[in-house]
Amino acid sequence: MAESGAISASRRLLQRLRDLMASTGDVQERLDQVVRLIAGNMVAEVCSVYVMRAGEVLELFASEGLKAEAVHLTRLQIGEGIVGDIAARARPLALSDAQSHPNFAYRPETGEEVYQSLMGVPILRGGRVMGVLVIQNRTRRAYTEEEVETLQTIAMVLAELVAGGELVSPDELGPGGAHPLSPMRLTGVAFNQGLAIGRAVMHQPRAVAHRLVAEDAEIELERFGSALEGMHTAIDDLIAATDIAQPGEHREVLETFRLIAEDRGWIGRIREAIRGGLTAEAAVQRVQDDTRARMGQISDPYLKERLADFEDLTNRLLLHLIGENGENVGLERDLPDDIVLVSRAMGPAELLDYDRNRLRAVLLEEGAIHSHVSIVARALDIPLIGRVSGALDRIEAGDTVIVDGDNATAFIRPGEDVQAAFAQSMAAAARRREAYAALRDEPAVTRDGVAISLNINAGLLVDVQHLDDTGAEGVGLYRTEIPFMVRPSFPNVDDQVEIYERALEVAGTRPVVFRTLDVGGDKILPYVAAPPSAQEEENPAMGWRAIRIALDRPAILRQQLRAMIRAGHGRELHVMFPMVAEVAEFDTAKEMVTRELERAGTGRKTQPSAVKVGVMLEVPSLLFQLPALLQRADFVSIGSNDLMQFLFAADRGNPRIAERYDVLSPPVLSLLGDLAAKCRTAGVPLTLCGEMGGRPLEAMALIGVGIRRFSMAPASLGPVKAMLLSLDVGELQSYMSQLTDSAAHSLRPKLRFFAKDHGVVI
């Protein structure tokens, strides 16, 4: 194939550059030769390299053309002068009249006043600015697009020398180019609390090309072609595999992916870079650096998504080129014993791919958190912070990270002082845990003899195992969707029987309350067909979810009930339905239980000794049908997480309003007090299984309004027990009776005051 002289010249230059860089000898001398070589090839009077040093400073490290005394003397802040500007924006600049540029900063020691035009490009590695490469010309020169590209390619090769640690100590090189390797604090939104320390593991490791300069462009073009083909096939296979699931969100994402993968501009630019002398992997990376620089400034969420798609695609392609036949090398890595997982987004199944004995915490960059990931994090009792913007850019694999889930803060590469403070908090937490463990066998009875039933929420077998170490009475909420979410396909009746049997086995004689599937909205099972409109739901929490799906697709619920009945043979079975909005829905669902029991009765298997059918109170409309409901339900469980969001019309996942309304407020407490009284009169057991019940002060107030049974995350049981052992319910009730007509925004300060005054441990 015929090629232009410029292309073969670029290739020759890259090869010479590589050889120069690889040669032995003084690194400064090599760098001096490098700038001389570039200046000659680019027909420029000046070629300079600025390297990023600690403290956001760009230092002139070598120059052909500028005064020698300026080398290692001239320093520019990020954003200062044209060079600083290039670093700040991570974008190339080509100026035929640099001195009239508003950012021009004249440094007398360089003698650069005689040079009119300037072209500079960032020295990027893995998307990070490591320095700036500049050429200058005495006369006005209009640099071409092609020349800019050539200089970018050279800068990429040069990045290896900078990253090699010979020029500046590796300690100074670090993420973001912003104060490299310095400690850093990142904040987000806490989805599960707790404190942990560990080493960063990138969920999807970023592939980095190390062989940059090619021997033979034809071979590289072929490698690129077959990697592209391999990737296309992999995506097609994925699409084909999801065909059975009908068009759904998953499929659409993949289709978009394929469209991008076929983007001619993108492919063309990569091929061009290969022809210019780069290896296939270096070319893919180079184009990605460029795309990132172009799109990085954009705030439009749609375009940001596209950038993320390109990042994913690049990574896949790089793994095809560097990894073994494109196999995901992700999980076969040597992982540390204390993993702080860092990812853009993640599903619960992916989280469970990791050894849970090593998992310490999770940081997610993505805005929307798959709610089941946080449930899994809760089940594993590890802190999870979401919406940590910049996490992927600023954290490097292997970095020490302290995750403070209580304050939604992550400390990256913490200094000794922070680590020491952290160690103290950890020790205190461990002491508290020991103290709680000592309470395990104490009966959960208040000082004035009121018995409180404490149960745990579960979804994984590990949770059920916590029955023993917490001393809980039973499982008050078994979220059946969790085992569904962590499987690659829909479990059939036999599989489900096994899941429920194992939970019942571990629980032994202690009761387990199974909640039927609560999926839909944001809790999509990847293998279940969503209706075409489901993904467009504007308010998924108020959309087609839970009992609504179960009643519209009765086969799923029937199978689930069948499996529960089979698993519960010979013992009392507890089933409850989520998100019921009206008694008629409960009736229909309960009717299905009756029918499944009848069906099971015709078989030979033993039946459950009794079946109790309950309802979750999560939708406020149901509160206005209490008399009818309490005649029908065997038990009621308050899902306060959902009930509060619907009561206050405040999205439970929206951090902006997370603090706006308080659960310890007059409307909530009077509503729950009223509900508790009515359930007691009707003789219907009432439990509260939302998060608020797991917080000591909240639990105290709930006991005050008459709630006697709770179900909570296993880790919350100790603190709540410690609280109730120190509580006198009579005193609390008389105190709270004075607050009934309060018009305050929150009763929290008063309740806290009561606790302090009466020695209640909160």
Binding site for ligand PEP (CB under 6 A): 477, 479, 518, 618, 639-642, 689-690
CB of 221 to ligand PEP, least distance (A): 53
Q: Is residue 457 a contact partner of residue 473, using CB atoms and an 8 Å limit? A: no
CB contact burial 78-88 (16+ within 10 A = b; e otherwise):
bebbbbbbbbb
Q: Is residue 135 a contact partner of residue 42, using CB atoms and an 8 Å limit? A: yes
CB of 750 to ligand PEP, least distance (A): 25
Beta carbon nearer to Mg ion, 639 or 694: 639
> Which of 662, 669, 692 lies closest to 740 in space, CA to CA?
669
CB of 232 to ligand PEP, least distance (A): 39
Query: CB-based contacts of 641: which residues, under 8 Å, 6+ apart?
Result: 618, 652, 690, 691, 692
Report what 286 binds from ligand PEP, Mg ion, none; CB cut-off 5-8 Å by kind: none
Instruction: State the DSSP H helix or E strand holding residue 400, giving kind and residue range, or none if neither.
Output: strand 400-404
Beta carbon nearer to ligand PEP, 454 or 689: 689
Q: How many C-beta atoms lie closer than 10 Å to residue 202's C-beta?
A: 18
Using rule CB under 5 A, residue 481 touches Mg ion: no
CB of 640 to Mg ion, least distance (A): 9
CB of 520 to ligand PEP, least distance (A): 11
Q: Is residue 538 a contact partner of residue 545, using CB atoms and an 8 Å limit? A: no
Report what 479 binds from Mg ion, ligand PEP, none; CB cut-off 5-8 Å by kind: ligand PEP
Q: How many C-beta atoms lie closer than 10 Å to residue 260's C-beta?
A: 15
DSSP 523: B
CB of 227 to ligand PEP, least distance (A): 43
Residue nearest to Mg ion according to CB distances in the complex: 642
Q: Is residue 725 a contact partner of residue 493, using CB atoms and an 8 Å limit? A: no
Report what 149 binds from Mg ion, ligand PEP, none; CB cut-off 5-8 Å by kind: none
Query: CB-based contacts of 495: which residues, under 8 Å, 6+ apart?
Result: 487
Report what 600 binds from ligand PEP, Mg ion, none; CB cut-off 5-8 Å by kind: none
CB of 642 to Mg ion, least distance (A): 4
Q: Is residue 343 a contact partner of residue 330, using CB atoms and an 8 Å limit? A: no
The rounded radius of gyration (Å) of the Cα atoms in the chain is: 31
Using rule CB under 5 A, residue 642 touches Mg ion: yes
Report what 669 binds from ligand PEP, Mg ion, none; CB cut-off 5-8 Å by kind: none
Integer Cα distance of 86 and 583 in angstroms: 65
Report what 690 binds from Mg ion, ligand PEP, none; CB cut-off 5-8 Å by kind: ligand PEP
CB of 599 to ligand PEP, least distance (A): 29
CB of 667 to ligand PEP, least distance (A): 17
CB of 645 to ligand PEP, least distance (A): 8
Beta carbon nearer to ligand PEP, 568 or 690: 690
- The site for Mg ion, by CB under 5 A, has a size of 2
CB of 479 to ligand PEP, least distance (A): 5
**Is the CA virtual torsion 259, 262, 265, 270 positive or negative?**
positive
Stretch that binds Mg ion, among 26-34, 95-103, 476-484, 637-645 (CB under 5 A): 637-645
Report what 127 binds from Mg ion, ligand PEP, none; CB cut-off 5-8 Å by kind: none
DSSP 607: P
Report what 290 binds from ligand PEP, Mg ion, none; CB cut-off 5-8 Å by kind: none
Report what 112 binds from Mg ion, ligand PEP, none; CB cut-off 5-8 Å by kind: none
SS3 category, 690:
coil
Integer Cα distance of 44 and 42 in angstroms: 5
Integer Cα distance of 692 and 540 in angstroms: 23
> Which of 492, 474, 481, 495 lies closest to 573 in space, CA to CA?
474
**Interaction pattern, residues 586-625, with Mg ion; x per rule: CB under 5 A:** ----------------------------------------
CA distances from 566 to 448, 475, 493, 591, 596 (A): 42, 19, 9, 18, 10
Beta carbon nearer to ligand PEP, 378 or 562: 378
Report what 626 binds from ligand PEP, Mg ion, none; CB cut-off 5-8 Å by kind: none
Q: Measured in Å, how far apart are the chain's first and last C-alpha atoms?
A: 78
CA 505 to chain centre: 33
Q: Scan residues 277-316 and list those touching Mg ion (CB under 5 A).
A: none
Beta carbon nearer to ligand PEP, 122 or 690: 690
Beta carbon nearer to ligand PEP, 135 or 629: 629
DSSP string covering 114-176: G--EEEEEEEEETTEEEEEEEEEESS-----HHHHHHHHHHHHHHHHHHHTTSSS-GGG--GG
Q: How many C-beta atoms lie closer than 10 Å to residue 238's C-beta?
A: 15
DSSP string covering 641-671: HHHHHHHTT--TT-TTTTTTS-SSSHHHHHH
CB of 659 to ligand PEP, least distance (A): 18
CB of 578 to ligand PEP, least distance (A): 7
Q: Is residue 363 a contact partner of residue 342, using CB atoms and an 8 Å limit? A: yes
- In the numeric block, which tokens belong to residue 90? 């991570």
Beta carbon nearer to ligand PEP, 110 or 516: 516
Beta carbon nearer to ligand PEP, 152 or 640: 640
Beta carbon nearer to ligand PEP, 149 or 618: 618
Report what 640 binds from Mg ion, ligand PEP, none; CB cut-off 5-8 Å by kind: ligand PEP
Beta carbon nearer to Mg ion, 476 or 639: 639
Query: CB-based contacts of 250: which residues, under 8 Å, 6+ apart?
Result: 242, 526
Phi, psi of 445 (to 5 degrees): -130, 135
Beta carbon nearer to ligand PEP, 405 or 414: 405
Stretch that binds Mg ion, among 21-29, 113-121, 530-538, 640-648 (CB under 5 A): 640-648
Beta carbon nearer to ligand PEP, 201 or 689: 689
CB of 207 to ligand PEP, least distance (A): 37
**The binder of Mg ion chosen from 65, 188, 639, 673 (CB under 5 A):** 639
Beta carbon nearer to Mg ion, 348 or 639: 639
Integer Cα distance of 470 and 456 in angstroms: 9
CB of 518 to Mg ion, least distance (A): 6
Beta carbon nearer to ligand PEP, 53 or 708: 708
Query: CB-based contacts of 207: which residues, under 8 Å, 6+ apart?
Result: 281, 315, 318, 319, 321, 322, 323
> Which of 419, 400, 407, 342 lies closest to 188 in space, CA to CA?
407
Stretch that binds Mg ion, among 230-238, 387-395, 480-488, 642-650 (CB under 5 A): 642-650
Q: Scan residues 305-364 and list those touching Mg ion (CB under 5 A).
A: none
Residue reference for tokens 């009432």: 686
Report what 689 binds from ligand PEP, Mg ion, none; CB cut-off 5-8 Å by kind: ligand PEP
CA distances from 405 to 44, 189, 430, 483, 645 (A): 54, 9, 16, 25, 22
DSSP 531: P
Beta carbon nearer to Mg ion, 481 or 642: 642
Q: Which residues bind Mg ion (CB under 5 A)?
A: 639, 642
